[in-house]
Amino acid sequence: MDQHNGIVHFQYRSKWWLPFFAPIIFLAIVVITPFAALIAGRPGGLDLGYVFGANPLGELWQKALYNSLVQGVLGALTSMALGFPLGVFLGRYRLRNGNIIRSLLILPFFLPSIVVVTAFISTFGATSTLGTIFPGTRIFGTGLTGIVAVNTFFNAPLVAFLTSGAIEGTDMSLEESAATLGSGRISSFWHIWGRNGMLAALSGGLITFLYSFAGFTAPLVIGGPGNFTVEAWIYFVVKTLSDVNLAVTFSIMQSLILIAPVLLYLMTWSRERTVVVTGMRQRVREGIRGRFYVAGMAYLFAFLAMDALILASMLVESLSNVQGGSMTLEGYRELFSGTITGAFGIWPLLPFMNTIFYGVLTSLLVTLMGALWITGKRRLRSKADDALDSAQFLPMVIPSVVMAFSISVVYGSTFPASLTWLLIIAVQSAVAIPVVLRIISAGFARIPENLWEAAATLKGNAFFEVELPLAGSTVATALMFGFAISIGEFTATNFLSTYTFMPISVEIYQLQYQRLVTASYALGTILLVVSAISFYIIQKIGRGFETIR
């Protein structure tokens, strides 16, 4: 009897292996196989001596690597320097309307990269109002300083968010006990609440380095060839020079370099201490009139004011008449008139329809994979969780433009041009996997496993009858994050799309390229509003932001 039950139990468990591996299978098809085929098809292999030698290819690689490293390190340092103090302040003080403040603070991190770059041009560009009145501010709209400023704008809020989340999770009773035993501020900071905050800030800094090292939009739009990262050069040598062999070489080298910081990020993330939620858990409340509180509020106000200035400037510039200086809706009129048809040969509303189409399908696909994966994971109770969870971060080792390049080379010839949208959705889904699966994992972790076991014993459907109702807000949050990532993804989509399959993010770049600057500001403002609405829905429907800490 026991043997029979063991066989039945094994059969019950074995059917969950395929759902458990669903994201890995998807990444194998979309990311690993095309990239491996790209490497295998490269004639002559990888000659490191040639890459680092004194020749045109070696000089180009060395310059690209130098730019990526400089932008990655500077972006990480400035983001940590600006974000960590703000995270400490938010983690140590209980503020009125704290949730609203946090939502406003983290908003820039979720904005499409092309929108932020366009906002910086509208704020600090040579023809901007601020750039005209204060010429010295133009350094933030061009060149290396502009790229670092954009990277910091994106990622400093993330560092602050992660830091505050780690600090506020400290059990207050531990700090009170330490104070009773004579522990000073520095000792309490290091041993009780500060260490987790610093680890979280370091995690944010590593994420910033990864995103900045593989930066694409800012170097391409405001940096120029002299500041191109490896990612930007891969795009350039394929699209402009048609040198596939050189692009493959750069892709291999970049992925090899990114392995170390991704592993370091995963190690840092795993070392953050998990704090059990108890009745004593709360942020420390100190005197409102204290000098640290006043300084922190001033810093927070300046931080949010700068964000508002940069984002609002795009709206102002979209309404301005460059020739007459008056307010006009000309830029918006161009978006829905024959101007777009004349420039791109498409129906003006087609990019809007493409954006919604990609966003819906991407969010459904990646959330479905996440649901299959988490269900299989909970049923199997696998011991290989760490290895498989780490594999989900593969898109950070093989960044977007490399994924798009490899998938276009390997699968492009087998897909007719009319099915290009499938490749776009596949790459966007791969980019969204690390974030969406982490959200789903954290949300389902709150559901006791004995509930689905009880449902299975009663011959019920554990997922639909028990887990899904309890994790409804988590699934909704995952869907919205998938949609937000899709509409904001620019790098791979710009590489793959044609005018027929062009979404809003790529249209903004094309409008700037066509010198339709006011129209690009108008479209950037529209995408900003759409992103803000998506962000608001995410914030309202669940605990999505807490699950990504």
State residue 282's pLDDT score: 44
Helix (H, G, I), strand (E, B) or coil at 281: strand
- Report the C-alpha gap between 360 and 480 in whole angstroms: 9
Mean pLDDT, residues 144-165? 90
State residue 193's pLDDT score: 66
CB contact set of 163 (below 8 Å; sequence gap of 6+): 83, 84, 86, 87, 88, 90, 91, 197, 198, 200, 201, 204
Mean pLDDT, residues 16-38? 88
Residue ranges per structural domain of the chain: 57-314, 319-549
- Per-residue pLDDT of 61-105, as tens digits, reads 888 899 999 999 999 999 999 999 998 888 878 777 777 787 788
Residue type, 84: F
Dihedral sign of CA atoms 273, 432, 157, 90 in order:
negative
Domain 319-549 has CATH 1.10.3720.10: yes
pLDDT at 549 over 50: no
Tokens 């991407």 correspond to 362
Whether residue 125 contacts residue 134, with contact meaning beta carbons closer than 8 Å, is answered with no
Dihedral sign of CA atoms 80, 85, 90, 92 in order:
positive
Helix (H, G, I), strand (E, B) or coil at 325: coil
Tokens 């900003």 correspond to 528
- Report the C-alpha gap between 185 and 201 in whole angstroms: 20
State residue 4's pLDDT score: 46
Confidence of residue 186 (pLDDT cuts 50, 70, 90): low
Q: What percent of the chain lies above the pLDDT cut of 70?
A: 78
The count of other CB atoms within 10 Å of the CB of residue 483 is 27
CB contact set of 204 (below 8 Å; sequence gap of 6+): 79, 80, 83, 155, 158, 159, 161, 162, 163
- Report the C-alpha gap between 86 and 105 in whole angstroms: 10
Mean pLDDT, residues 179-196? 61
Confidence of residue 335 (pLDDT cuts 50, 70, 90): confident
Q: Looking at the whole model, is its pTM more than 0.95?
A: no
CATH number of 57-314: 1.10.3720.10
Mean pLDDT, residues 228-238? 88
- 319-549: same fold as 57-314? yes
State residue 187's pLDDT score: 58
State residue 76's pLDDT score: 94
State residue 8's pLDDT score: 43
| CA-atom Rg of the chain in angstroms | 25
- Report the C-alpha gap between 11 and 508 in whole angstroms: 53
